[in-house]
Amino acid sequence: MTFWPIVIPDRKDIGPLKDMAQEVIASSASLEGRVAADTAKVIGDHLRLINSYYSNLIEGHKSTLRDIEDAMDKRFDADSEKRYAQDLCAAHVLAEMELMNDIENGTVKNIASQDLLRLIHTRFYSHLSPDHLYTHEKDGFTDIPVLPGEFRDRLISVGPNVATGGSIGPNPENLNVALQQFSDDYNQQQYFGDERIIAMAASHHRLTWLHPFRDGNGRVSRLFSTLYMARCDINKSNLWSLSRGLSRNKEEYMINLFSCDPAPEGEKATHSASELLADFVEFMFEVCLDQIGFMSNLLSLETIERRIEWFVEVNSLKRGGKLHPDSARLLRAVFMQGKVKRGEAGTILNKATSTARKIVKELIDEGLLTSATPKSPLQVALPSKALPYYFPDIYNPSVIGKDYIDMIAKR
């Protein structure tokens, strides 16, 4: 039994995609190469909240980053729907961190295996509160349990065919066979070079069509694609967000997804399966390149130095803040280098040792630098209050919360 006519686009359609794939791979590597590893890790950990925010937004739930941070600390809104949205976001962040550790540790062999799909679903739902382990629809929760890690046992209707009772994916009795085909077809170990990321994009559609679980399939698919790229050594530092790009192009994303679905029984497809899948892969690559370009501009040397200076200026002693006016020199150096020996702080600041120590203490106390011990190197830290200054195009009032932005402005 075959569930889709092609795995990746045919030779006649794949040529232009290979050029785009190489551009995605090279551009992502260039972005990671321009940021110090220690700094990249800190930024990447913060951007996991962005991944969560936008993945949630695609599903119709919105929680500001402030809400997500509260949820990570187990502080939830009294409103049940807002609390559910917060819980989803926090679960996404925690699951992604754990799964990326599995990738880093080399424990994931076949990224498309049924075991990995079960694990993604289980990890995500393991972080939700017990009352949120039921399928959720427009009007709220049903009495149907999600059953984390277990494949669905019923038909699911989503997308443009819902009105006519159309379903997505294979019948439950055929699901295991379809998932085994998926595992065989998209095992990253059978692809090489640029075809690996082409397989990633194609598998994203196949997994959303399969809808293997009772609920949570969209989030699982986006987590899966993030992990697939990392398994292929693409965006392992998480310096750009696929979910952000898909959310900002949600309508086109949905149209491209559903256009690749097998034609309903009795209907003839208007385009070849290869052409439709190639269109979807091209769309995914355009999203990737857009987000890589966005972050490349944001992390350019001149841009980030100017924004660090802006933050220090606004929060300097002369404006009623706590930062020495020359703090920006050290913050810039640590950001660009990833870590700086404490003994070098005085030289960077061009200050006497005693003054340099005082400035270092102020920056650590304000959460702008961190150090494992009093003698360890200084490393970058990114507290929430600095994010709207360092990365205003990401952490705008809509994302981080206008009330929080206003509170910062009044300090």
pTM score of the predicted model? 0.91
Q: Are residues 204 and 335 in the same domain?
A: no
Q: Are residues 253 and 378 in the same domain?
A: no
Does residue 176 belong to any structural domain of this protein? Answer: yes
- Burial of residue 221 (CB within 10 Å: 0-12, 13-18, 19+) is buried
pLDDT recorded at residue 242: 96
Does residue 363 belong to any structural domain of this protein? Answer: yes
Phi (first) and psi of residue 255, to 5 degrees: -60, -45
pLDDT recorded at residue 389: 92
Task: Tell me: pLDDT of 408 over 70.
Answer: no
pLDDT recorded at residue 140: 85
Rounded CA separation 52/46 (Å): 10
Does residue 43 belong to any structural domain of this protein? Answer: yes
Does residue 51 belong to any structural domain of this protein? Answer: yes
Q: What letter does residue 168 receive in the DSSP assignment? A: B
Q: Are residues 281 and 312 in the same domain?
A: no
CATH of the domain at 376: 1.10.10.10
Does residue 1 belong to any structural domain of this protein? Answer: no
**Tens-place pLDDT, residues 268-283:** 555 689 999 999 999 9
Domain stop point among 247, 280, 298: 298
Domain stop point among 273, 298, 323: 298
Residue 164 · residue 175 · CB < 8 Å: no
Provide the pairing of β-strand 369-370 with 339-340: unpaired
Q: Are residues 203 and 139 in the same domain?
A: yes
A 10 A CB-CB count for 358 gives 13
Q: Do you know the residue count of the chain?
A: 411
**Tens-place pLDDT, residues 3-41:** 888 999 998 899 999 999 999 999 999 999 999 999 999
Does residue 3 belong to any structural domain of this protein? Answer: no
Q: Are residues 176 and 272 in the same domain?
A: yes
Does residue 2 belong to any structural domain of this protein? Answer: no
Rounded CA separation 384/66 (Å): 8
Q: Are residues 406 and 293 in the same domain?
A: no
For the chain, how many structural domains are there in total?
A: 2
**Tens-place pLDDT, residues 333-392:** 999 999 999 999 999 999 999 999 999 999 999 999 999 998 899 999 999 889 999 999
- Looking at residue 162, its amino acid is V
Q: Are residues 329 and 243 in the same domain?
A: no
**Tens-place pLDDT, residues 90-148:** 999 999 999 999 999 988 999 999 999 999 999 999 999 999 999 988 788 999 999 99
Helix-strand-coil split of the chain, %, nearest 5: 65, 5, 30
- 3-class secondary structure per residue, 35-59: CCHHHHHHHHHHHHHHHHHHHHHHC
Does residue 6 belong to any structural domain of this protein? Answer: no
pLDDT recorded at residue 44: 95
Q: Are residues 288 and 315 in the same domain?
A: no
Domain stop point among 263, 298, 333: 298
Query: DSSP states of 237-292 as a string?
Result: T--S-HHHHHHHTHHHHHHHHHHTSPPPTT---SS-HHHHHHHHHHHHHHHHHHHH
In 3D space, the residue among 235, 217, 215 whose CA is nearest the CA of residue 287 turns out to be 235
Q: Are residues 181 and 227 in the same domain?
A: yes
Task: Tell me: pLDDT of 162 over 80.
Answer: no
Rounded CA separation 55/379 (Å): 30
**Tens-place pLDDT, residues 169-187:** 889 999 999 999 999 999 9
CATH of the domain at 46: 1.10.3290.10
Give 141's strand partners: 136
Q: Are residues 313 and 258 in the same domain?
A: no
Q: Are residues 116 and 40 in the same domain?
A: yes
Task: Tell me: pLDDT of 86 over 50.
Answer: yes
Domain limits at 95? Answer: 11-298
Q: Are residues 26 and 99 in the same domain?
A: yes
Name the packing angle between helices 195-210 and 217-231 (round to 10°).
Answer: 160
- Looking at residue 397, its amino acid is P
Task: Tell me: pLDDT of 299 over 50.
Answer: yes
